[in-house]
């Protein structure tokens, strides 16, 4: 029974407190190769599309988010180390970041 999911034991009590917490991951980990990747996502947003920019240096996130929101004329936020811009503006974002000196790839559908 090494693969058992024991919950309670009369000798030791509640076994759930002894389990190791499982880390939740927000998808596959991106390589740290200096490339900024721009995704289009809809999941969990009621069918609304957003452009997600990952791979930016952490110190640049707020400034880049502010610039991209102004450039695209839409709202957005910085969440979990990524910039989210409302709407599908991947081409506009890619052109803007390339002009600022970043290496950019369009990723996902």
Distance CA 80, CA 53 (A): 11
Of residues 58 and 44, more confidence is placed in 58
The 10 Å Cβ neighbour count of residue 95 is 13
Distance CA 60, CA 52 (A): 15
64: region left, alpha or beta (phi > 0 left; psi from -120 to 50 alpha): alpha
The strand ranges marked E within the chain are: 8-9, 13-14, 35-41, 50-54, 76-79, 82-86, 103-106
Question: What tens digit of pLDDT does each residue of 22-47 get?
Answer: 555 455 566 667 789 999 988 777 88
Q: Please give the mean pLDDT across all residues of the chain.
A: 81
Fold that domain 35-106 belongs to in CATH: Translation Initiation Factor Eif1 (3.30.780)
Using alpha carbons, select from 75, 76, 38 the residue that is nearest to residue 55.
38
pTM of the model: 0.69
Q: What is the pLDDT of residue 5?
A: 67
Give the pLDDT band (50/70/90) at residue 60. Answer: confident
């Amino acid at each position: 029974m090494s693969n058992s999911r024991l919950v309670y034991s009369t000798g030791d009590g509640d076994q759930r407190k002894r389990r190791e917490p499982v880390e939740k991951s927000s998808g596959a980990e991106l390589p740290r190769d200096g490339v900024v990747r721009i995704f289009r996502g809809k999941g969990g947003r009621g069918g609304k599309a957003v452009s997600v920019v990952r791979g930016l240096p952490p110190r640049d996130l707020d400034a880049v988010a502010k610039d991209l929101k102004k450039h695209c004329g839409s709202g957005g936020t910085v969440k979990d180390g990524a910039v989210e811009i409302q709407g599908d503006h991947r081409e506009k974002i890619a052109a803007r970041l390339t002009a600022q000196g970043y290496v950019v790839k369009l990723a996902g559908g």
